């Protein structure tokens, strides 16, 4: 910004100098043109009528560079030989000029040959030393400098202001990130405005919300799991203590206690098995050997396993499977889902009740419904039953050997396979669980 206008103005002045100096030289040249030979006398006489305005010095020389006329009185070069570059060039028959801005002044010179019948009979040399225009240029330079300095200061202040603001906002974000890293999940980034920072802060806060939810779910899960494990362990402790402390315990009572201990141990192993299954689902470790599985044989196995219990409770099990019904899952997963739902339907039934399992094959999905006319689930609890360790009736679930994890396993497995499960009440007073699972592998088209 500083240099460009200066360069342009300097160039303009130099061009103007060229024009004036060359025309001054031409005027002098015109005065001596016509003479066949230049001498001190005839040149001085010819120069008498010439006003060499706009130049500081004018010199006329013979063809060898000897000065015949010099406008300068003090330090006149008359009679001496001069070899200014431009003059030498002129004596060779060319027009020459030169101008430079140096040390606060313009030094300009121009020279022309004096011709007689196309022969160089001398040279005209004019020189100008100009401080006036140079002073203008210096003023311009100074003004530009002042403007630049002022602008630089303003820009510095403005950028300092913005960078401080930026640092402060980044600092806010950093404090929040550090807080969360150290475990303060309630820490949020406070950011006002509508720019990218606010967006990032918003995203960060959402992320922390999710983290907080996950963390509290994890804590809840650990605490529930410990509690669930503690209950059978406490019972085992109590039963063993009773046997150990009672020396005269009769055989039948001891046997009863030991069988109770066995039942509690079995319960413990059921809970740990379910917990392991859930952990595996949580970490995304799925049975890789998945593909399209025919539902019918798996359902037959489930029913075979449950028939004795159902018979004991005089509960009837009906099944209907559409021909060729398949789902995309590992066989073990399908077995687990069907078993957990059917077992619940038997467990939470009433004498002479029924369990109806229907499998409908659609174009892209297979829908499995497990209905019973058992004790039912209150309307408000229908969504809760899929939560971990949730039981509508704790005592009843325990008595039936439940862990409160069966439906969580169903729900997690099904959603990992891209399906869904929901529970609803049916008019007969029982419950219907509907599982939807894809029947085509990814990329397969329905036929
Ligand atoms: P549990 O091991 O206790 O059966 P689940 O996760 O399988 O755990 O089920 C959670 C709760 O949902 C059960 O404790 C029970 O209260 C209720 N429930 C599940 N299935 C049925 C059903 N078919 N009829 C009535 N209640 C049910």
pTM of the model: 0.63
**H or E segment and range at residue 208:** helix 196-245
Measured between alpha carbons, how far is 287 from 21 in angstroms, rounded to an integer?
Answer: 98
| Separation of CA 405 and ligand 1 centre (Å) | 9
372 lines ligand 1 (CB under 6 A): yes
State both tokens at 346: 């038997």
Q: Whose CA is nearest to atom 7 of ligand 1?
A: 406
| Separation of CA 344 and ligand 1 centre (Å) | 6
40 with 69: CB under 8 angstroms? Answer: yes
Query: Counting atoms of ligand 1 from 1, which one is nearest the CA of 393?
Result: 16
Stated length of the chain? 447
402 lines ligand 1 (CB under 6 A): yes
Q: CA distances (Å), 10 to each of 148, 189, 340, 347, in order?
A: 19, 58, 95, 103
- Helix 251-282 × helix 196-245 angle, to 10°: 170
Q: Whose CA is nearest to atom 19 of ligand 1?
A: 344
User: What is the reported pLDDT for 287?
Assistant: 60
345 lines ligand 1 (CB under 6 A): yes
Query: Counting atoms of ligand 1 from 1, which one is nearest the CA of 403?
Result: 2
21 with 128: CB under 8 angstroms? Answer: yes
| Separation of CA 186 and ligand 1 centre (Å) | 34
CA 201, 203, 206, 211 torsion-angle sign: negative
407: Cα within 13 Å, side-chain hemisphere: 23
| Separation of CA 356 and ligand 1 centre (Å) | 17
User: What is the reported pLDDT for 164?
Assistant: 94
Domains and CATH numbers, the chain: 3-130 (3.30.450.20), 196-281 (1.10.287.130), 288-438 (3.30.565.10)
For the beta carbon of residue 135, count every other beta carbon within 10 angstroms.
12
Q: Whose CA is nearest to atom 20 of ligand 1?
A: 344
| Strand partners for 320 | 358
Rounded to the nearest 5 percent, the helix, strand and coil shares of the chain are: 55, 20, 30
Q: Return the best residue to mutate from 402, 409, 424, 435 for the ligand 1 pocket (most ligand atoms within 8 A of CB).
A: 402
State both tokens at 301: 């196995």
From first to last of its 447 residues, the chain has per-residue pLDDT tens of: 778 888 898 899 999 999 999 999 999 999 998 899 999 999 999 888 787 777 899 999 999 999 999 999 888 999 999 999 999 999 999 999 999 988 889 999 999 999 999 999 999 999 999 998 889 888 988 999 999 999 999 999 999 999 999 999 899 899 999 999 998 888 888 888 888 889 999 999 999 999 999 888 889 889 989 988 998 999 999 999 999 998 888 889 999 999 999 999 999 999 999 999 888 888 877 666 678 999 999 999 999 999 999 999 999 999 999 999 999 999 999 999 999 999 999 999 999 999 999 999 998 999 999 999 999 999 999 999 999 999 988 888 878 778 899 999 999 999 999 999 999 999 888 999 999 999 988 777 665
| Separation of CA 407 and ligand 1 centre (Å) | 7
319 with 282: CB under 8 angstroms? Answer: no
Nearest to 307 by CA among 298, 318, 296, 321: 318
User: What is the reported pLDDT for 423?
Assistant: 97
Measured between alpha carbons, how far is 330 from 288 in angstroms, rounded to an integer?
Answer: 7
- Helix 196-245 × helix 132-181 angle, to 10°: 20
Nearest to 257 by CA among 227, 237, 231, 230: 237
């Amino acid at each position: 910004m500083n240099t460009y206008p200066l360069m342009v103005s300097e160039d303009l002045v130099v061009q103007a100098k060229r024009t004036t100096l060359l025309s001054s030289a031409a005027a002098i040249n015109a005065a001596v043109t016509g003479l066949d030979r230049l001498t001190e006398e005839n040149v001085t006489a010819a120069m008498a009528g010439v006003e060499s305005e706009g130049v500081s010095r004018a010199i006329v020389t013979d063809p060898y560079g000897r000065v015949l006329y010099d406008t300068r009185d003090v330090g006149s070069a008359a009679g001496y030989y001069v070899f200014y570059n431009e003059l030498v060039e002129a004596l060779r028959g060319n027009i020459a000029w030169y101008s430079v801005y140096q040390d606060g002044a313009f030094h300009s010179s121009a020279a022309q040959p004096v011709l007689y019948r196309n022969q160089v009979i001398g040279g005209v040399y004019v020189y100008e030393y100009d401080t006036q225009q140079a002073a203008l240029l210096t003023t311009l330079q100074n003004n530009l400098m002042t403007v630049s300095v002022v602008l630089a200061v303003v820009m510095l202040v403005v950028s300092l202001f913005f960078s401080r603001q930026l640092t402060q906002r980044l600092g806010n974000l950093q404090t929040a990130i550090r807080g969360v890293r150290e475990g303060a999940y309630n820490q949020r980034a406070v950011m006002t405005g509508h720019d990218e920072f606010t967006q990032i802060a918003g995203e960060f806060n959402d992320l922390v919300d999710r983290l907080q939810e996950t963390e509290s779910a994890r804590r809840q899960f650990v605490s529930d799991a410990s509690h669930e494990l503690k209950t059978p362990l406490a019972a085992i402790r109590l039963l063993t203590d009773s046997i150990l402390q009672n020396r005269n315990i009769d055989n039948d009572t001891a046997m009863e206690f030991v069988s109770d201990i066995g039942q509690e141990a079995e319960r413990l192993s059921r809970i740990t098995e379910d917990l392991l299954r859930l952990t595996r689902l949580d970490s995304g470790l799925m049975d890789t050997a998945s593909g399209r599985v025919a539902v019918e044989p798996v359902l037959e196995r489930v029913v075979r396993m449950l028939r004795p219990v159902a018979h004991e409770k005089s509960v009837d099990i009906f099944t209907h499977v559409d021909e060729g019904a398949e789902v995309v899952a590992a066989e073990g997963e399908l077995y687990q889902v069907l078993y957990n739902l059917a077992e619940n339907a038997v467990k939470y039934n009433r004498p002479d009740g029924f369990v109806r399992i229907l499998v409908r094959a659609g174009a892209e999905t297979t829908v499995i419904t497990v209905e019973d006319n058992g004790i039912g689930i209150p309307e408000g609890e229908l969504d809760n039953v899929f939560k971990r360790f949730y039981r509508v009736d704790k005592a009843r679930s325990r008595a039936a050997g439940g862990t409160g994890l069966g439906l969580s396993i169903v729900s997690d497995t099904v959603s990992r396979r891209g399906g869904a499960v929901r529970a609803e009440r049916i008019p007969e007073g029982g419950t219907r669980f509907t599982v939807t699972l894809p029947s085509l592998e990814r990329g397969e088209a329905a036929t």
